Structure 1
Amino acid sequence: MSTATTEKLARIFDGPYYLSIAGKLVEAKYSFDVFNPATGEILAKAPAASPAQLDEAIAAAKTAFKSWSTLGYDERETYLNAYADALEKSRDELARLLTAEQGKPLKTGAEPEIDQSISYIRQIAARRVPIEIVEETDTHCVELHHPPLGVVGAITPWNFPVVLALWKVAPALITGNTIVIKPSPFTPLSTLRFGEIAQGVLPPGVLSVVSGGNELGTQMTAHPDLAKISFTGSTATGKEVIRSTADTVKRLTLEMGGNDAAIVLPDADWKSIIPQLFWGAVGNSGQWCVGIKRLYVHRSVHEEFVAAFVDYAKQQKMGDGLDPDVTIGPVQNKMQFEKVKTLLDDIKANGQKIALGGEIDERRPGYFIPVTVIDNPPEAARIVQEEQFAPIVPIVMYDDVEDAIGRANDTPFGLGGSVWGRDTRAAVAVANRLETGMVWVNEIHTQGVDIPFGGHKQSGLGTEHGREGRLLFTNAKTVLVHK
C-alpha cells in the first residue's frame, strides 16, 4: 500500500464524523472514542448527540413524513436506487472503515456486508405492499390498505452495523416511513458515513443518523413522536426496550439473542460439511445472533468429527482484518472480550476438555480470542447454556435423536437452528420440531429479502424481510365502501 493511500485511509478513519439531521451534517458539542478492536487503540472520535439534537432529528423526520409518505412507490424506488448507487461509489471506503471499527476481515467479511447492503436496498426498492380487496359485490367493497406508520426509530448493533441498519432503512422508506437511526456506540462510524451519503440523495429529514451512548437509546424508545422501534441486540436490552415503549404503545420489531443448535444426524456426510459448520459457528468471530452456538454430534462419529473440526480450524489465520490473508478477526469490543474471558475461566475451572485454543495471549494488542473447541461439555455448562458471541464452539455428544431435539429446545431462546443429514425427509422432520423462527436443513444462513426472519420465545418479536416484515412498517386500515 502506497504512502498516499495509507494517508488517505488514515484521514477516512480519523474523520471528521457528523450527525445527519434534517438533510445537514451537524457537529455535536461532545464526542466519544471509537476503538479499533485489532489494536485496542482509539480509531476516531464520534459525535455524541444531545437530547435536543435527537428531538431535532425526530422533528425533521416528522415533517419529512408528510411529503415522503404521499409519494408513490415508483418515486420512492427511484430515490432508493439513487441511494444504492451513491453507496456503491463509496463501497471500498465503507468496507475498509467497517473493518477498522468492527474487526471483521476485509475480503471475506466487510466487503460482502457492504455489497449485500447495496443489493438489499435495490431489491427492497422493487417490492410493493398493494391494496387488498377483501370483499366486493355489486353494492359493497372492502379494501385493506397498508399506510405507513410515521417516524421509525432504529437501534442497531455492533456485529453487522451496516447491513442490519439497512435491513431497517430500506423497508421503512419504501413503505413510506421516515427513519432515525442510532448505531451502537462501539461501531458508529460506518453508519454515520452512510447517513452522510444519504443527505446528498434523499430529501431532508427522510433518513437521519444520531450517535451516542445508551442514554440516547432510552430517550428514543420513550419518545412520543416515534411510531415504531426496530431493534437488533441482546435479549436483556430488548426487554428494556419493551418496558420503555409501553407508555407510548409503539409498534415493535425486536431481533434479539439466540443459542442456535446444529444437529448432525447419524447418517450425515459429516466430513463434507465441516467447513459449513465451522463458518456457521466461527464466521464474524462467532458474533452473530444466528451463529451456531451448540453443535450436537452423534456418539458414533463424535471423536473423528472433533479431530476434523480442529484440523480445519488450525488452517485459519487470526489477525487484523485489513491483512488479506486473515480469515478470523478479533471480537469487537473490550466489554465482550472480558465477558468471553469469564467463559474461558469457567470452562477451565470446571475441567471441561479443550480440544483447541483456550489460551489468550495477553501480550497481544487488541481483543483476540483464539478459535476454541470444547469437547463434549455437560449440558449444564455455561458454554452450552449461554450465548457466547465469540469463536468458541462446544461440540456436544448425543446418543438419541429425540434427546438431541429435547436439548436443542431446552432454552429460552428460539432464533435459528440447523439439521444435517443424508435423508432429507428425516432431517426436515427433525427441523420441524425445533422451536425456532428459522431453521436450515443441509445449509446454513441462507437469507433474502423475501424470506421472513424472526425469533420465537425470548429471541424476538415480529419479523424482518418478506411480506410479513414489510407489513410491520405499516398499519392495517380497512376501508368499507357502499357503492
Structure 2
Amino acid sequence: MASKINIETYPGNIINNEFVSTPTTRHSIDPATGKPLYEVPVARKEDLDAAVKHARASFKSWSATPFEDRSKLLLAYADAVEANRTDLERLQTMEQGKPLSLAQTEVNMALTWLRQFATMEVKSEIIEDTAERTIYSTFPPLGVCAAIVPWNWPILLGLGKVGPALMTGNTVIMKPSPYTPYCNLKLGEIAMSIFPPGVFQVLSGDDSLGPWITEHPGIDMVSFTGSIPTGKRVAASCAKTLKRYVLELGGNDAAIVCDDVDISKCLPKITTLAFLNSGQICMLPKRIYIHEKIYDQFRDAMVEFTKNNIKTGGGFEADVVVGPIQNSMQFDLVKDMYSQIDKAGWKTALDGKARDGAEGYFMEPAIIDNPPEASRIVVEEPFGPIVPIMKWSSDDDVIERANALETGLGASVWSKDLVRAEKMARQLSAGSVWVNSHFDVAPNVPFGGHKESGIGMEWGIEGFKHYTNTRSLWVWKKTFD
C-alpha cells in the first residue's frame, strides 16, 4: 500500500532517499490569489555535490539492474503516484494555477507515460552479421542525468524526463522550477519508498541551482525544457564539460485552416487549444492562418465560441478554461503584449484585458484580427491567452509564412482534402506536425523542435537514446590457436 503524502509539509530536499533540510527556505505564490504557499528548501552547492556523489555511487548498481526489475519498480512508482493523485492534482492547481480538470488530465497523462515507459527498452541493434563477425550498435547509459523542469506542465514534463532516464539505466536528479516546486518535491518523496537510494533525487532551489547543475562535472547529461534564451545559456554551460543535453524550447506554432473545412467541427478544438492552460504551453496553436474564403465566418464563430465557452477564473471554479497566468514575471510580459493592441493599432476581434480587482494574475482572452505579419503578436510567442488570426489565399504563401520564424516546435494543417493537407504538412519545418489536429503527444512518439525550438528529442525510443551513449561492438568469430 503506497504511503500518503501530506501536501502541506516540505521537510527538505530528497537526497539519497532522505530529507535534507536547508538553512534557507522560500515559498511560491498561488497565482489565483496572490497568497504565499508552503516553505520549501533552497539547495546549496554542497547539497548538489552530495546528490551527485550519491547518484554516481548508485549508478554502478542501478545500471546493472536488469530491465525487467527497473520496469517493475517504475510500475510500482506509477501505482504510488496514482494512490496520491487527488492530493497532487489539487496541489498542481494551487501552485500552477491551471484548472483542476486540466491538472487531472496532466496526472492521467503522466501515469500513462510512466506505464508505457516501463515497457520500452533500448536494445542492441545488429549492423552486420556474417560468418566472420557480428557488429552491434549498443546503447549504454550515460551516468547521472539532470531533469530541469518548467513551471507550465511540471508533473508530466518532470516524470517525462525521469522515466526515460531511469529505464535506460541512469540515475536522475530532478530540479523543479522555483515557481512550481511543490508537486515535484512530492513526486520525489513518493519515490523514496520505491527506488534504491541515490537513484531518483529532487533538489529545490533558487536561480543559482540551474547553472550549478549545468556546469557540474559530475553530471553527464541535462534534459531541459524552457525558454529559448535560457536554453541557449544551458547549451553554453554544458559545453564547458562537454556534457550531453536535450533542449525542448519555445514554440510559436502555426495552424493552417483551409477553405474546405467544416467550421463547426474544427473550430471548437482549435479555439480551446489556443487558450488551454491560459496559452502557457509551447505546443499550442499560437498563429492561426485562416483561408480568406472562410475568414470572416471563422473569425465570428471563434469570437462567439470564446465568449460562450472559454471561461476565465480560479482553477477550482467550475468549467474554467483560462486560469491565472502562473507568475508575476510572466503576467507582466503578457500585459505588455496586450498593451501593444493600442500602441500598435491592432484590430481586435475580441478585446482582452487584465481582470480588474482580481487578486491573482488573470487575463481575459483576446483575439487579434489579421495583424501584419511582422507584428509582435505574430513574431513572438506571448505565452498567454492572446492569439492572432490571419488571412491567406495561396498554399505556397501560407507555408512560407508558417515557416518564416526561427521557431519550429509544432504546426498543423486542417482540411477535408487529406492529400492536399499531407502535402502541405510535409513542407512545414517543425518537430511535430498534425493534420486535422494539434498538440497530440504520446509516450512512444518522439517530439522536439526544429531550428531554435530545441536540440534532440524527448520520448519514444529515439528520445530514450538521448539518455545513452552509442557504442559500436565488433565481435570477430575467428579464434586464435
Task: Tell me the TM-score normalized by structure 2.
Answer: 0.96
Deviation at 1:399, TM superposition (A): 2.4
Deviation at 1:317, TM superposition (A): 1.9
Question: 1:475 aligns to what?
Answer: 469
Counterpart residue type for residue 380 of structure 2: E
- 1:17, 1:192 within 8 Å by CA — same for their partners in 2? no
- 1:372, 1:391 within 8 Å by CA — same for their partners in 2? yes
Aligned to 2:320, the other structure's residue is in SS state coil
Distance 2:25 2:348 in 1: 42
Match of 2:233 among 229, 240, 246: 240
The answer to whether 1:364 aligns with 2:358 is: yes
Question: 1:279 aligns to what?
Answer: 272
Paired residues in the alignment total 473
Counterpart residue type for residue 143 of structure 1: Y
Deviation sequence 1:56-107 (CA, Å, 0-9, x none):
1111111110100001100100110110111011010000000000011112
Deviation at 1:143, TM superposition (A): 1.8
- 1:13, 1:43 within 8 Å by CA — same for their partners in 2? no
Aligned to 1:69, the other structure's residue is in SS state helix
Deviation at 1:358, TM superposition (A): 2.1
Question: 2:434 aligns to what?
Answer: 440
Distance 1:93 1:401 in 2: 48
Question: 1:173 aligns to what?
Answer: 166
Distance 2:168 2:229 in 1: 30
- 1:17, 1:189 within 8 Å by CA — same for their partners in 2? no
Deviation at 1:361, TM superposition (A): 2.4
Question: 2:191 aligns to what?
Answer: 198
Q: How does 1:154-233 map to 2 (within 5 A)?
A: 154-233=147-226
Aligned to 2:322, the other structure's residue is in SS state coil
Question: 1:404 aligns to what?
Answer: 398
Distance 2:63 2:214 in 1: 22
Deviation sequence 1:270-315 (CA, Å, 0-9, x none):
2211111012211111011111110001112111111110111112
Moved over 4 A (4+): none
* RMSD of Structure 2 on Structure 1 (CA): 1.3
Distance 1:13 1:354 in 2: 42
Aligned residues: percent identity?
45
Deviation at 1:478, TM superposition (A): 1.2
Question: 2:383 aligns to what?
Answer: 389
Q: Which sits farther off after the overlay, 303-312 or 13-22?
A: 13-22
Question: 1:295 aligns to what?
Answer: 288
Distance 2:133 2:319 in 1: 67
Question: 1:45 aligns to what?
Answer: 39
Counterpart residue type for residue 24 of structure 1: E
Distance 1:363 1:13 in 2: 29
Aligned to 1:337, the other structure's residue is in SS state helix
Distance 2:268 2:181 in 1: 32
Distance 1:18 1:160 in 2: 23
Distance 2:6 2:132 in 1: 64
Question: 1:87 aligns to what?
Answer: 81
Deviation at 1:13, TM superposition (A): 4.9
Deviation at 1:32, TM superposition (A): 1.4
Aligned to 1:154, the other structure's residue is in SS state strand
Question: 2:457 aligns to what?
Answer: 463
Aligned to 1:59, the other structure's residue is in SS state helix
Counterpart residue type for residue 471 of structure 2: K
Match of 1:59 among 36, 53, 58: 53
Match of 2:322 among 325, 328, 338: 328
Deviation at 1:12, TM superposition (A): 4.8
Distance 2:20 2:251 in 1: 37
Counterpart residue type for residue 94 of structure 1: L
Deviation at 1:397, TM superposition (A): 1.3
Distance 2:355 2:322 in 1: 16
Deviation sequence 1:3-55 (CA, Å, 0-9, x none):
xxxxxx9x955433521101111211111121001011112222111110011
Aligned to 1:74, the other structure's residue is in SS state helix
Aligned to 1:214, the other structure's residue is in SS state coil
Match of 1:125 among 91, 109, 118: 118
Aligned to 1:327, the other structure's residue is in SS state strand
Deviation sequence 1:162-201 (CA, Å, 0-9, x none):
1001110001100100000111100010000000000111
Deviation at 1:130, TM superposition (A): 1.1
Distance 1:228 1:182 in 2: 13
Deviation sequence 1:125-147 (CA, Å, 0-9, x none):
11111112221222312122111
The answer to whether 1:138 aligns with 2:126 is: no
- 1:37, 1:103 within 8 Å by CA — same for their partners in 2? yes
Match of 2:250 among 257, 280, 286: 257
Aligned to 2:299, the other structure's residue is in SS state helix
Deviation at 1:357, TM superposition (A): 2.8
Distance 1:137 1:14 in 2: 62
Distance 2:469 2:10 in 1: 39
Aligned to 1:113, the other structure's residue is in SS state helix
- 1:17, 1:193 within 8 Å by CA — same for their partners in 2? no
Counterpart residue type for residue 214 of structure 2: T
Distance 2:396 2:117 in 1: 40
The unaligned stretches of length 5 or more in structure 2 are none
- 2:116, 2:444 within 8 Å by CA — same for their partners in 1? no
Question: 1:6 aligns to what?
Answer: none
Distance 1:459 1:326 in 2: 30
Aligned to 1:348, the other structure's residue is in SS state helix
Aligned to 2:110, the other structure's residue is in SS state helix
